[in-house]
Copies of this chain bind each other. A is one copy, B any other.
Amino acid sequence: MITKEQVADAYKQIQDEICAGLELADGKGKFEEELWTREGGGGGRTRIIQNGNVLEKGGVNFSAVEGKLPDNIKKAFGVNEDDFFATGVSIVIHPNNPWVPIIHMNIRYFEMISGEKELRWFGGGIDLTPHYVIDEDAQFFHKSLKTTCDRFKNDFYPRFKKWADDYFFIKHRNETRGIGGIFYDRLNPESTGLSWDEIFEFSKGVGRTFLPMYTELIARNREKSFTPQQKEWQFQRRSRYVEFNLVYDAGTKFGLETNGRIESILMSLPPQANWVYDFKPQPGTEEEKTLALLKKGIDWI
């Protein structure tokens, strides 16, 4: 049986691999690390990169926290136990160049074991938020995720792709945050038909899908030139990212409500975001095309 220490150790290693790989890809930016401890128990390694060649602001965070759950979270989870353990790696990257997409990844493990009762699950996902949707990149991104999913279970990609469409949705705008990806939660042997070892392997597999896939998207787009108007569009798209994270994102809510480390939780917010009243893209533009593609149920592959 896997232990929480094993999961935390594997996640730390994935954090290390990703930070090293992103620094190499960026060529200039370096991660700065902040070690923190949580009053209720546990802590984390927040790693932030800023003002790189490609990466304007990003975080690759590891945390492993434990303690008592606040009542509102217990209610939301439908559990009565108090003692929890949660570990995960969370990534959000905001690139400089509007042709390079925003990316988010999270892999996490949660457990609550008291006496005979045992509750544990894996969750996570990767989703992509292009400022401009590029069809081939969207296809490549989704194929990468499908390849990882298919190694474990045939229904994972379609299930988790739909879950991402539903989760990364800005209800008040009636638009998806980006082109989706995969999202999954509460994976256990009952919900997957896999063993705990296999689910753990899947979680690590998702974590290791991130680097080669995102560095390829960086390589494809980093040298593309852009206009001030395209930069302005990037700032506007980022404002939608802010809206999603502050209004809907469960991880952000969980962090804010459990008195998490604020700067680690809100590292997902962009360096600059602009709100323009009632902006409507011109017909026939790249901006209009992108907006038209921010909807659920598109088969990107």
Contacts and interface: CB of A to CB of B under 8 A. Distances in A.
A50 interface: yes
A57 interface: yes
B256 A172 contact: yes
Interface in A232-272: 235, 239, 242-243, 246-247, 256, 262-263, 265-267, 269-272
Nearest to A34: B278
A224 interface: no
A267 to B, nearest CB: 6
A72 interface: no
Contacts of A273: 242, 272-275
Contacts of A262: 172-173
Contacts of A226: none
Contacts of A172: 256, 262, 265
A256 B172 CA distance: 6
A256 to B, nearest CB: 5
B263 A48 contact: no
Contacts of A59: 277
A276 interface: yes
B274 A271 contact: yes
A235 B277 CA distance: 17
Contacts of A242: 242, 246, 273
A34 B246 CA distance: 27
Nearest to A242: B242
18 contacts: A34-B278, A48-B277, A57-B275, A57-B277, A171-B256, A172-B265, A173-B262, A239-B269, A242-B242, A242-B246, A243-B246, A246-B247, A263-B277, A266-B275, A271-B276, A272-B272, A273-B273, A273-B274
Given A50-B277, A273-B273, 9 more contacts: A57-B275, A172-B262, A173-B262, A242-B273, A243-B246, A246-B247, A247-B256, A270-B275, A272-B273
A172 B259 CA distance: 7
Interface centre among A247, A265, A273, A277 (most CB of B within 10 A): A277
Given A173-B262, A243-B246, A277 B267 contact: yes
Leading 4 A-B pairs by shortest Cβ distance: A246-B246, A269-B275, A263-B278, A172-B256
A124 B113 CA distance: 48
Contacts of A243: 246, 266
